[in-house]
Amino acid sequence: MAEEEGHSFQNVTEPSDSNRKNYSITRDEDLEDIKKYKYDLDYPEKGVCVIINMEKLDDELIYKEKLKTGNRPGTNKDVESLSEVFTSYGFEVRIENNATAGRIAEVMKEVAEEDHSQRGCFVCVVLSHGKDGGFYCYDDFMEEEFLFNLFKGESCKQLVGKPKLFFIQACRGDKFDSGVTPYASVATTSTGRIPIEADFLCHYSTSQGYVAFRHVSYGSWFIQSLCEMLKKYGKKYELMQILTRVNHKVALEYEANGKKEMPCIVSKLTKDLYL
């Protein structure tokens, strides 16, 4: 059974990519371009991956926010898959289960203040109910911008110029995407300074204003697709190529009671990222 973060659906279509040949580039100028436009992850540590996982919410919060449910069965399957894939890429995975807003704020501030000089990247994954602009902790709503701000260049200087990746599995509104039938012809830094907003990427499970889906036994459509594509292509393709395939899989292979889901990538990355 599939659930929107608050609804359940009985009629669900679950998913049951051609390999592109790699070509070698030998020209010196091309090699220089590759180096210029590729993030350097050659550090002693890959980085930290924090997973914020909400399997249940406080009853008072559910009542105050008029949520349909505070339980999120299947989310621990997402945690399991995420832990496996990011550990395999050398990340130190840290998990916060059913934590209060105060606890999450404290933990994330501490992570932002850690020594990241020997780390090449940072990852944060949020698994929860949500609405436009943020997500629910165990006892309160937290704006996603709060997390982003902790790791911007002015706040976390040792991650300046390094990729900071956020993946958010949560509803961003209450609209449903009913899908549409395709048209017949359509196949299915010279200044030495850097913007404080640079090198961020946030991949949302759904588009602004819409619900996100999660299977009560197998995990969410978005996170499971993300983990599958990272496992399959993470050592071969650049990250944006992989995330585009995640979008493709979720958009075309999943459906619940005629409802669809369209993940959304917001990228401020300035280079290619190969995990």
What are the catalytic residues?
A: 129, 171
Residues near 259 by beta carbon (within 8 Å), at least 6 away in sequence: 4, 9, 176, 177, 178, 179, 211, 213
The neighbour count for residue 163, using CB atoms within 10 Å, is 24
What is the Cα–Cα distance from 107 to 57, expressed in whole angstroms? Answer: 19
- Measuring CA to CA, which residue among 91, 14, 20 is closest to residue 241? 20
CB 209 within 8 A of CB 170: no
What amino acid occupies position 137? C
What is the Cα–Cα distance from 273 to 125, expressed in whole angstroms? Answer: 18
